[in-house]
Chain A
């Protein structure tokens, strides 16, 4: 999964770094300890080869002449240093894990809180999958890079510097070998990274395409089956599959060179050190012990240099991921309530709209000069074609969006003068696209009113004509509704949502195509129940089926953001206008 964002380049590097730094600064003392630990454990590890070199020199004296006390002395210190180094590195690891988890926790919390504070509009233009990948994979990428790469980079620097100095101390002449191999390995990794980077991003792109195709085709399998499209779909799949595995192969073709090449350069270094070390020994400039130390240091030295390319691209992808996270965090939240805003109390349910204008983007007005007055307890129906702006009116009433011009009043108070929370609590809303979360039916029904009793819930379910369905389920009200909801139809989900809304003590009810997938007989029964329950409540109903709304107090016929006709069913029928045409169509 991490591959998918791996090779994006961060755009605003500086801002991202600053913000990331902000998170890290919360743990600055721990980070300082971590850096000290890194330095400590690596320095300790660096002493090892030196000591082993001394020990070997003490052995080298030959048969019967080994200086055992020296050997033991150095061996003892080796054990000490290695144990200390391992201990420190474990402590360091634990510390880094702790820090990075704390950062993860804080970032996720911030992102999630941000999500719930964002205006609804954000979710209309951003894919859910994208948001989820930001809060999970991207934050993961940032933090695994933080915990791994930070330690790696600092220990790499110390190891490279330290072993270089050590080698320099042992034999400046042998160090010259690296004049050849280090640039060689740098050039090579640069070449390979440059070569593989686009190949890897192509690979994840092609795989993503394939996965998307699979998801779409499996979702539509039944349709494809009926239209006899199995074979042609398989053919199309084969092409995408071929592309995906070829992209994988191509990336692998170069990618799989990296490890052998790194190994190769190590081996070349070893060969050179062997030959020149032997020559220097013959010239009396080096002891065997020193050659041994040198070999060990050279391995330490080469490691991080070869890793550098990897670490850099890791950091780059971490920055890109961080940027995606901060992009979301830097989105504007819903404007806070005005200072003088007060909670709305004792809602009656009077609503008034005055010359309201609104468009999701400034160039295209959806609501064009809408005025409307609703008295508490009335049933208002909104009729019109898709795209006429019906749902937009609801969005404005609940302040999911704010009007561009004009005013909206609730109980005579301008909506900006009351807190958003209390305003929304005044409404109960059922949408066509129902929302059922993972949990049992009881939990789902009491979502807006946690303290509801079983009796209240059953009453609401009965009124919504879903009680008998629920009792027929094996676990009744305890039945878990999984996100798949395989055994529950769209109509039943709508009934559950209605029951949920009925439990609320809201004074205003909004039904946006709430019964579109419910048959008319059930719908009628629900309406009766609703009328009883909602006797003194204001009600907004949007529906395609005209039978749903015939007994409304006002029917608004909306077209292109304007109310073109208004009146009761009888009045509108007498006008023989737009509404009449719509109505007549069902008998044609």
Chain B
């Protein structure tokens, strides 16, 4: 929270100061009115002077007008500051998120990053506004109310002040009790939503296994739990309002009684008793507001901590200077090892070297480390041991922006954005329509793209839901090809393509991307059969490297895979 104030709100301090001034003056006006009323009754009426009554009436109107005008101005300034500050906070957070390393992203997890960017920044936004409005008004009304009543009549004020601790104690007790109740409620609601979400996504399985009654019973349990927790929490909170009313009204009765003695002794006047009744309401309101500000504050502090935590993350990938070494190879992987959790290795001592225009196929079981190896090439993670060189330069010494320009990639489960086909392929890389058109053609997507009403301008829905699996894959491939990359990486990109399309695609690559170094991860031997080199991975280790024929002769695993797929050829 400190950072929010010291960094993000600092530029607005002077504006906030103005806001405080307006809010202060506006709020004070509300305090004047009952004072004037008391004055009229006690001092003006006895003089029997109508002009004076009118005069004070006009003063009251003026105060009301100043009050409303200043309060509105202050509220608007608060909203302005809130919006401007939130804009900057969100911008910084989003920027940081975009540059998070994959390792950091894994640690925080995507849903958590998303909720920090959405819910948390929203909480902060509301807090900034509320603090400037209620946060200033409530203390003014509270303190101002007490001060004014003190000057009116210290004895009556003492009655009022005597009531305050009781109210504060009630509010504190109730909130103390209710905060954990609401916390537990929120967790139950999360479980509730998860159950519903799960059951919707698994509806086919549930129906297929005839488990609907079981799921209904499961739901009843959680449904009952949510409702009961909510009931307990709300009932606890519900004490506050009547309790406050009782306090207020008992206070009023005390004022009347004490006032009665005062009037009888000539130490106070009736008008003051009247004014007190109004002040009492104002002060009570203020106490309630202060307690709700605390709630906002606690919530916002938690959000601010979560935001700061991300903002404070250090840039993990440093760029040490590295000298150019002479190399015959364009892409060289030298004795690379890597582990996600730094305990069990996911890749161990992998080495290979490719010349410009060569193709490498990688094959291996689920979990063998194929995708991991690709991620290391693009430096989404840093190798633990060994080094990776592109054109003789260690990838660590190349700035990420420059490094990534070499690559065209299709990841496993890659994302289609909610944008047009063109935009999905071009990705704001300043590619000409002709280049995009060509990429569509090469990726074998031309036929179905041309069938669309808007052709390449056709809008795709979220996650490309309006395309089939194979069509999505082709759009992704077009994206990877569009900028004529030096290195093309395809992670299981052809599994959704039928053999014919896959074969046609390989032909295109051969004809038009002769200078491009290609790395293909595949489940199907047919996709990598003709590669210049094939790497066979098992449990993170290279158990075979060479051409198809060579591996057929030397690598049992490879031969087994190949035979299982294509028969004895």
Within the assembled complex, what's the spacing in Å between the Cα atoms of A108 and B222? 11
Within the assembled complex, what's the spacing in Å between the Cα atoms of A407 and B373? 52
- Expressed in whole angstroms, the minimum distance between the Cβ of B536 and any Cβ of chain A is 11
Q: Mark B358-375, 1 if CB is under 8 A from A, else 0.
A: 000001111110000000
Smallest CB-CB separation from B265: which chain A residue?
A63
Smallest CB-CB separation from A450: which chain B residue?
B214
B-contacting 9-mer, from A17-25, A233-241, A374-382, A453-461:
A233-241
**Would A292 and B277 be within 8 Å (CB), given that A128-B200, A387-B468 are in contact?**
yes
Q: Does B555 contact A (CB under 8 A)?
A: no
| Residue from B57, B189, B242, B427 in contact with A227 in the complex, judged by beta carbons closer than 8 Å | B427
Q: Mark B476-499, 1 if CB is under 8 A from A, else 0.
A: 000100000000000010011011
Can you spell out 24 A-B residue pairs with CB atoms less than 8 angstroms apart?
A: A56-B270, A56-B274, A63-B266, A65-B264, A87-B242, A105-B227, A112-B216, A115-B196, A211-B114, A216-B462, A217-B98, A221-B105, A248-B79, A260-B26, A267-B68, A268-B61, A278-B45, A429-B205, A483-B194, A519-B523, A521-B564, A522-B366, A544-B496, A586-B502
Contacts of A249 in B (CB 8 A): 79-80, 82-83
B-contacting 9-mer, from A91-99, A315-323, A350-358:
A91-99
B503 touches A588 (CB 8 A): yes
B223 touches A79 (CB 8 A): no
Q: Does B72 contact A (CB under 8 A)?
A: yes
- Expressed in whole angstroms, the minimum distance between the Cβ of B538 and any Cβ of chain A is 10
B90 touches A68 (CB 8 A): no
Contacts of B265 in A (CB 8 A): 63
| Residue from B87, B133, B204, B263 in contact with A120 in the complex, judged by beta carbons closer than 8 Å | B204
Smallest CB-CB separation from B206: which chain A residue?
A116
Within the assembled complex, what's the spacing in Å between the Cα atoms of A544 and B500? 11
A237 touches B94 (CB 8 A): yes
**Interface residue ranges of A360-400 to B (CB < 8 Å):** 385-387, 398, 400
Q: Does A223 contact B (CB under 8 A)?
A: yes
Known: A112-B196, A278-B45, A489-B367. 20 other contacts (CB 8 A): A66-B263, A68-B260, A75-B256, A89-B245, A90-B242, A108-B223, A113-B216, A218-B117, A223-B411, A225-B380, A249-B80, A256-B78, A257-B72, A274-B60, A275-B40, A278-B40, A291-B41, A519-B561, A550-B567, A585-B501
- Counting from the closest, the 5 A-B pairs by CB-CB distance are A585-B499, A586-B526, A491-B366, A275-B57, A256-B75
Contacts of A552 in B (CB 8 A): none
B-contacting 9-mer, from A27-35, A167-175, A420-428, A533-541:
A420-428
**Would A296 and B277 be within 8 Å (CB), given that A48-B249, A256-B75, A448-B211 are in contact?**
yes
**Interface residue ranges of B374-403 to A (CB < 8 Å):** 378, 380, 400-401
A56 touches B68 (CB 8 A): no
**Would A105 and B41 be within 8 Å (CB), given that A253-B79, A271-B64, A547-B564 are in contact?**
no
B468 touches A386 (CB 8 A): yes
B83 touches A90 (CB 8 A): no
Q: Does A165 contact B (CB under 8 A)?
A: no
Residue in B205, B215, B278, B471 with the greatest tally of chain A CB atoms within 10 Å:
B205
A104 touches B227 (CB 8 A): yes
Q: Does B198 contact A (CB under 8 A)?
A: yes
B-contacting 9-mer, from A129-137, A154-162, A305-313:
A129-137
* Size of interface on A: residues with Cβ below 8 Å to B: 156
Contacts of A136 in B (CB 8 A): 189, 192-193, 196
Q: Mark A269-296, 1 if CB is under 8 A from B, else 0.
A: 0111011001101100000100110011
B224 touches A520 (CB 8 A): no
- Expressed in whole angstroms, the minimum distance between the Cβ of A310 and any Cβ of chain B is 17
B193 touches A260 (CB 8 A): no
B203 touches A120 (CB 8 A): yes
A86 touches B277 (CB 8 A): no
Within the assembled complex, what's the spacing in Å between the Cα atoms of A486 and B429? 31
Within the assembled complex, what's the spacing in Å between the Cα atoms of A242 and B87? 7
Contacts of B6 in A (CB 8 A): none
**Interface residue ranges of A405-462 to B (CB < 8 Å):** 421-422, 424-425, 427-429, 431, 435, 437-438, 447-448
A-contacting 9-mer, from B292-300, B413-421, B436-444:
B413-421
Smallest CB-CB separation from A109: which chain B residue?
B223
A275 touches B53 (CB 8 A): yes
Q: Does A516 contact B (CB under 8 A)?
A: yes
Q: Does B524 contact A (CB under 8 A)?
A: yes
| Residue from B37, B200, B363, B506 in contact with A274 in the complex, judged by beta carbons closer than 8 Å | B37
| Residue from A74, A116, A229, A495 in contact with B216 in the complex, judged by beta carbons closer than 8 Å | A116
Contacts of A523 in B (CB 8 A): 564
Contacts of B86 in A (CB 8 A): 245, 248
A267 touches B33 (CB 8 A): yes
Q: Does B568 contact A (CB under 8 A)?
A: no
**Would A268 and B407 be within 8 Å (CB), given that A214-B118, A256-B133, A274-B57 are in contact?**
no
A75 touches B253 (CB 8 A): yes
| Residue from A131, A215, A227 in contact with B196 in the complex, judged by beta carbons closer than 8 Å | A131
Within the assembled complex, what's the spacing in Å between the Cα atoms of A488 and B166? 56
- How big is chain B's contact interface, by range? 35 or more
**Interface residue ranges of A502-531 to B (CB < 8 Å):** 504, 516-524
Contacts of A241 in B (CB 8 A): 87, 90-91, 94
B33 touches A207 (CB 8 A): no
Q: Mark B120-136, 1 if CB is under 8 A from A, else 0.
A: 00100100010001000
B503 touches A586 (CB 8 A): yes
- Expressed in whole angstroms, the minimum distance between the Cβ of A328 and any Cβ of chain B is 12
**Would A101 and B45 be within 8 Å (CB), given that A59-B263, A222-B102, A438-B194 are in contact?**
no
- Expressed in whole angstroms, the minimum distance between the Cβ of A441 and any Cβ of chain B is 16
B41 touches A288 (CB 8 A): yes
B197 touches A128 (CB 8 A): yes
- Expressed in whole angstroms, the minimum distance between the Cβ of B506 and any Cβ of chain A is 7
Smallest CB-CB separation from B254: which chain A residue?
A75
Within the assembled complex, what's the spacing in Å between the Cα atoms of A167 and B257? 24
Smallest CB-CB separation from B468: which chain A residue?
A386
**Would A120 and B207 be within 8 Å (CB), given that A264-B68, A275-B57, A282-B45 are in contact?**
yes
Contacts of A279 in B (CB 8 A): 50, 53
Within the assembled complex, what's the spacing in Å between the Cα atoms of A109 and B195? 13
- Expressed in whole angstroms, the minimum distance between the Cβ of A202 and any Cβ of chain B is 14
Residue in B215, B415, B496 with the greatest tally of chain A CB atoms within 10 Å:
B415
Smallest CB-CB separation from B244: which chain A residue?
A86
**Would A492 and B102 be within 8 Å (CB), given that A288-B270, A400-B207 are in contact?**
no
**Would A224 and B366 be within 8 Å (CB), given that A59-B263, A120-B207, A524-B564 are in contact?**
no
Contacts of B36 in A (CB 8 A): 274
Q: Does B84 contact A (CB under 8 A)?
A: yes
Smallest CB-CB separation from A384: which chain B residue?
B498
**Interface residue ranges of B225-280 to A (CB < 8 Å):** 227-228, 230-231, 234-235, 238-239, 241-243, 245-246, 249-250, 252-253, 256-257, 259-261, 263-266, 270-271, 273-274, 277-278
Within the assembled complex, what's the spacing in Å between the Cα atoms of A64 and B246? 31
**Would A128 and B201 be within 8 Å (CB), given that A64-B264, A492-B366 are in contact?**
yes
Within the assembled complex, what's the spacing in Å between the Cα atoms of A117 and B418? 32
**Would A98 and B110 be within 8 Å (CB), given that A68-B260, A116-B199, A260-B67 are in contact?**
no
A274 touches B40 (CB 8 A): yes
**Would A220 and B415 be within 8 Å (CB), given that A97-B235, A469-B367, A546-B499 are in contact?**
yes
Q: Does A219 contact B (CB under 8 A)?
A: yes
- Expressed in whole angstroms, the minimum distance between the Cβ of B410 and any Cβ of chain A is 9
**Would A227 and B206 be within 8 Å (CB), given that A62-B263, A267-B67 are in contact?**
no
A275 touches B54 (CB 8 A): yes
Q: Does A587 contact B (CB under 8 A)?
A: yes
Q: Does A83 contact B (CB under 8 A)?
A: yes
**Would A521 and B561 be within 8 Å (CB), given that A59-B270, A97-B231, A219-B110 are in contact?**
yes
Q: Does A46 contact B (CB under 8 A)?
A: no
B94 touches A78 (CB 8 A): no
Residue in B26, B68, B192, B502 with the greatest tally of chain A CB atoms within 10 Å:
B68
Smallest CB-CB separation from A438: which chain B residue?
B194
**Would A71 and B243 be within 8 Å (CB), given that A63-B263, A227-B404, A241-B87 are in contact?**
no
